[in-house]
Amino acid sequence: MRNLRAIVVMFITLAAAHGCQENPSPQPAPTQKEVNRGMEDINRQMAMEEDAVIEGYASRRGWEMVKTGTGLRYAIYESGPKGPLAAEGQVATVNYEVSLIDGSVVYTSKEDGHRSFLIGQDNVESGIHEAIQYMKVGDKAHVILPTHLAHGLTGDNDKIPPRSTVIYDLELIALK
């Protein structure tokens, strides 16, 4: 991923330098469509690199994970009693430990207390809204959120840096 970032920085630097020349050589500016296509290619490459990092992380831990169409990965490692899966519109109460791909724990319900949220509506990561719907009360799961399902380009302005893959150890303790 560092190589791609270096290319992006070089691209931006060259573009800025070109714009600052007193007598730039006449070259047509790229069209908006060309710029968009270039950014899409960069985003696609970054997503592929993040996907490979996530695969390696799960593999090193021996986690056999399900990958959804959005790129979310989850593995139920302890099943609760039989019951219905969580669904949008219900209030889920969870215990959690949130860590970064480097292993550093950033949030935990052991310190912050369990958390409740309205599935599909409250302000939690979109990946958690998706992941909780694969669980029933009593289930414990490892959940890996790629950047676009976690805090994206900005991070959470606290403990999660920009463009971070986020790992949850999640337990669904109640549904209402």
At residue 65, the 3 state secondary structure works out as coil
Kindly provide the b/e burial profile for residues 39-69, where b requires at least 16 CB atoms within 10 angstroms of the residue's own CB: eeeeeeebeeebeeebeebbeeeeeebeeee
The per-type count for the chain, helices as H runs and strands as E runs, is 4, 7
| Widest CA span in the chain | 73
Q: What's the token pair of residue 61?
A: 């831990």
Which conformational region is residue 10 in: left (phi greater than 0), alpha (psi within -120 to 50 degrees), or beta? alpha
Q: Is the pLDDT of residue 48 over 60?
A: yes
- pLDDT tens for 159-171 read 999 999 999 999 9
- pLDDT tens for 109-123 read 999 999 999 999 988
Provide the pLDDT confidence category of residue 15 given band limits of 50, 70 and 90: low
- pLDDT tens for 16-31 read 555 555 565 678 888 9
Given the candidates 3.30.1330.40, 3.20.20.80, 3.10.50.40, 3.20.20.70, the CATH classification of the domain at 66-175 is: 3.10.50.40
Can you give the residue ranges of every domain in the chain? Answer: 2-60, 66-175
Q: Is the pLDDT of residue 54 over 80?
A: yes
pLDDT at 123: 87
